[in-house]
Chain A
Amino acid sequence: AQKVTQAQTEISVVEKEDVTLDCVYETRDTTYYLFWYKQPPSGELVFLIRRNSFDEQNEISGRYSWNFQKSTSSFNFTITASQVVDSAVYFCALILMNTGFQKLVFGTGTRLLVSP
Chain B
Amino acid sequence: ETGVTQSPTHLIKTRGQQVTLRCSSQSGHNTVSWYQQALGQGPQFIFQYYREEENGRGNFPPRFSGLQFPNYSSELNVNALELDDSALYLCASSFPSGGGQETQYFGPGTRLLVL
A43 touches B43 (CB 8 A): no
Interface residue B55 (Cβ < 8 Å from any Cβ of A): yes
Given A33-B100, A52-B101, A102-B100; A109-B108 close (CB under 8 Å): no
Interface code B49-81, partner A: CB below 8 Å = 1, 0 otherwise? 010000110100000000000000000000000
Name the CB-closest residue of B to A9. Answer: B40
Instruction: From B31, B43, B88, B94, name the one whose CB has the most chain A CB atoms within 10 angstroms.
Output: B43
A104 touches B33 (CB 8 A): yes
Smallest CB–CB gap between B102 and chain A, Å?
7
Given A33-B101, A50-B103, A100-B56; A105-B109 close (CB under 8 Å): no
A116 to B88, CA, bound (A): 29
- The listed residue (B42, B94, B107, B108) touching A102 by CB distance below 8 A is B94
Name the CB-closest residue of B to A93. Answer: B42
Interface residues of A in 93-116 (CB under 8 A from B): 93, 95-109
A103 touches B45 (CB 8 A): yes
B100 touches A98 (CB 8 A): yes
A43 touches B108 (CB 8 A): yes
Interface residue A60 (Cβ < 8 Å from any Cβ of B): no
How many A-B residue pairs lie within 8 Å, measured between CB atoms?
79
Q: How many residues of A contact B (CB 8 A)?
A: 30
A residues engaging B (CB < 8 A)?
4, 31, 33, 35, 37, 42-47, 50, 52, 91, 93, 95-109
4 closest Cβ pairs, A-B complex? A101-B56, A106-B42, A45-B106, A97-B100
Complex A-B: 11 CB contacts under 8 Å: A43-B108, A44-B108, A45-B90, A91-B42, A93-B42, A97-B100, A99-B100, A101-B50, A101-B55, A102-B33, A102-B48
Known: A43-B88, A101-B48. 17 other contacts (CB 8 A): A35-B103, A42-B108, A43-B111, A44-B107, A45-B43, A45-B90, A47-B105, A50-B103, A91-B43, A93-B42, A98-B99, A99-B56, A102-B104, A103-B45, A103-B58, A104-B33, A104-B45
